Structure 1
Amino acid sequence: MLNTHYLNLPLSDADVRQLNVGDLVYLSGEIVLSAGLPTYQRIFSHVNEGIELPLDFQGGTLFHLGSLTQETPDGYEMLYLNPTTSTRFNPYMPTLIRKLGLRATGGKGGLDHTSTLAMQETGCVYLSFLGGGCSLLSQAIQKVTAVYWEDMISHYRLVKLQVNRLGPLTVGIDTHGQSLYDSLQDQAQSRLPDILNAMSAQRC
């Protein structure tokens, strides 16, 4: 049976181990996000070269979310959140999941099987964000608590953001090795011969 979970960050191992593919999640607390491929490449290089990162990810999140922040007299203000395609980060995420000690990552479109194995090994889940859900997701924004790597353009920067009931987010990959994306791909592959046969018959 699928369940709905209201979770507070940072997440514990028990928090993520209880989640199953298809469950709905709402998050409250502090998340970390960036939509920039160069950002993930920089994190990956820092990890591999032993260079200290500007923040501690241990037990936290790294979401594939675009955003727009602007400076105000009181600090940074975030105007919106919007998910970006996670598959762009496939080469980097297995290493980042393992080395950063992430409990959750996510965006839209899922990650590959190598990332699924890393999540199963370490206790991390992939949360699928609603594509086109910018208005709904942005309602969860409370305040920007930190911005890192300001040499990058706004939506590439690493941002810490306080959120309240961010969601609904769907568990796309769980800690038990189950992936909605692998399942859908397997279903598509199994149907392909019948589709091709039907197309061939229509040409006759």
Structure 2
Amino acid sequence: MTGTVEHDLRLPLSEADVRALRVGDIVYVSGEIHSTAGIPTHVRMLECLERGEALPFDLRNGALFHLGSYNIEDANGDLQILYMNPTTSTRFNDLMPKLIPALGLRATGGKGGLDARSAQAMKEAGCVYLSFLGGGAPILTDAVKRVTGIGWRDMISHYRLVRIEVERLGPLTVAIDAHGNSVYDDTIKAMQEKRASILAELRADRERS
């Protein structure tokens, strides 16, 4: 980790914007993001791309976040988000390596991270994974200005692809950068090294006894 550096980013993002970020940096995002909490939504996006069909929104140079929300819908179909919180990204490990380059994403995120296949896709495409603050729903929700678009209304509300205008959404942590560095890989490596050290100590104790 290179230390804490803060960045205020406004969507859409350039590849240069993203390549400048490093694991451990803190990011605040403004502009229009896209969110969904549904595996069926990710599958549907991939199927549309494979068939050459248009998606509800153009996500190129944008952000797709794994966010769930509690919301209300009025008689006109307008959506008001009452609170928003991250959902677990690892559920999408099998889909994100294809979606990241196909959608032209510059950022994705949620909680729990993504695996090495997604990290490689991000490195090649110029995309980062932003880790959301756990239990930070009030802070995250305060950044929501309005819902600017709803895709696939035939799906239940938290599976829809929703476009949201936000102002300084964050703090978000760069957990996987566009250079292949991942805080999750670093954590696993440290745990494995610690486990090996503990086992070696236990073996040494048994041999001395």
Which TM-score applies when normalising by structure 2? 0.92
Compute the displacement of 1:51 (Å): 2.3
Compute the displacement of 1:117 (Å): 0.7
1:135 aligns with 2:138: yes
- What is aligned with 2:116? 113
- What is aligned with 2:10? 8
CA distance in 1: counterparts of 2:70 and 2:163, whole angstroms: 13
- Tell me which amino acid in the other structure corresponds to 1:155: H
Percentage identity across paired residues of the two chains = 55
2:101 alignment partner, one of 98, 101, 124: 98
Compute the displacement of 1:195 (Å): 2.6
CA distance in 2: counterparts of 1:47 and 1:165, whole angstroms: 31
Compute the displacement of 1:63 (Å): 0.3
1:152 aligns with 2:163: no
- Tell me which amino acid in the other structure corresponds to 1:167: G
> What's the CA shift string for 1:156-195, capped at 9, x where partnerless?
1110000011000000011111110111111111111223
Compute the displacement of 1:10 (Å): 1.0
- Tell me which amino acid in the other structure corresponds to 2:197: D
- Tell me which amino acid in the other structure corresponds to 1:29: G
Compute the displacement of 1:135 (Å): 1.2
1:178 aligns with 2:181: yes
Compute the displacement of 1:50 (Å): 2.1
Please report the RMSD computed on the Cα atoms of aligned residues, expressed in angstroms.
1.6
- What is aligned with 2:87? 84
Compute the displacement of 1:198 (Å): 5.0
**Residue correspondence of structure 1 range 38-57 to structure 2 within 5 A:** 38-57=40-59
**Which ranges in structure 1 are unaligned for 5 or more consecutive residues?**
none
Are the counterparts in 2 of residues 2 and 20 from structure 1 also a CA contact under 8 Å? no
Compute the displacement of 1:197 (Å): 4.4
Which TM-score applies when normalising by structure 1? 0.94
Compute the displacement of 1:77 (Å): 1.0
Aligned length: 203
CA distance in 1: counterparts of 2:153 and 2:107, whole angstroms: 24
- What is aligned with 2:39? 37
CA distance in 1: counterparts of 2:196 and 2:127, whole angstroms: 35
- Tell me which amino acid in the other structure corresponds to 1:108: K
Compute the displacement of 1:2 (Å): 2.7
- Tell me which amino acid in the other structure corresponds to 1:67: S
CA distance in 1: counterparts of 2:74 and 2:202, whole angstroms: 59
CA distance in 2: counterparts of 1:59 and 1:4, whole angstroms: 20
Compute the displacement of 1:54 (Å): 1.5
Compute the displacement of 1:26 (Å): 0.4
**Which ranges in structure 2 are unaligned for 5 or more consecutive residues?**
none
2:74 alignment partner, one of 68, 72, 86: 72
CA distance in 2: counterparts of 1:18 and 1:170, whole angstroms: 14
CA distance in 2: counterparts of 1:198 and 1:108, whole angstroms: 34
Q: Per the alignment, in what secondary structure is the counterpart of residue 166 of structure 2?
A: strand
Worse overlay, 52-61 or 188-197: 188-197
